[in-house]
Amino acid sequence: MYAGDMTDVVDTKTRSRIMSRIGGKDTRPEMLTRQGLHRLGFRYSLHDRKLPGRPDLVLKKYRAAVFVHGCFWHRHDGCRYATTPRARAEFWLEKLTGNVVRDQSNQSALRALGWRVLIIWECALKKDTNLAVANLAASLKDPTAEFVEIGARDLTE
């Protein structure tokens, strides 16, 4: 069964409260990425307000901005986690599409400033955290990698 076709198991008020508590910083996928990169010897700063989109991690040595994207919130194309809630579908489509447009704008602005943009998707971290972070590390070390996305389908050893 496709996750987007399931009816909600909680009432509307509870779902609203749950969704409102989801933060934009220090999420589990972000913490896994940070811990993995740190263990591999990478040093970074967090959420640099001076850069478009306030990237989750900024590695100045590599002139790289890393975004840790949730598949649902940032609409990972073709991912099983990028579902659309059935309740208030129009609201959600507008909100989530707005996130994608803002992401693309921020990525373009970063690249115009000479920054490399790397995105690691939540699904990759769920599938194999160590491999996902290793792929991210390899991309950081590759100076020709100007724009990289790492999702579950991209994981190769």
Distance CA 118, CA 110 (A): 11
* Largest Cα–Cα separation, the chain: 49
Q: Which residue has the higher pLDDT, 18 or 1?
A: 18
Beta bridge partners of 57: 46, 66
User: What structural domains does the chain harbor?
Assistant: 3-154 (3.40.960.10)
Beta strand pairing call for 147-150 and 45-46:
unpaired
* Tens-digit pLDDT profile for residues 50-92: 999 999 999 999 999 999 999 999 999 999 999 988 888 899 9
Distance CA 47, CA 49 (A): 6
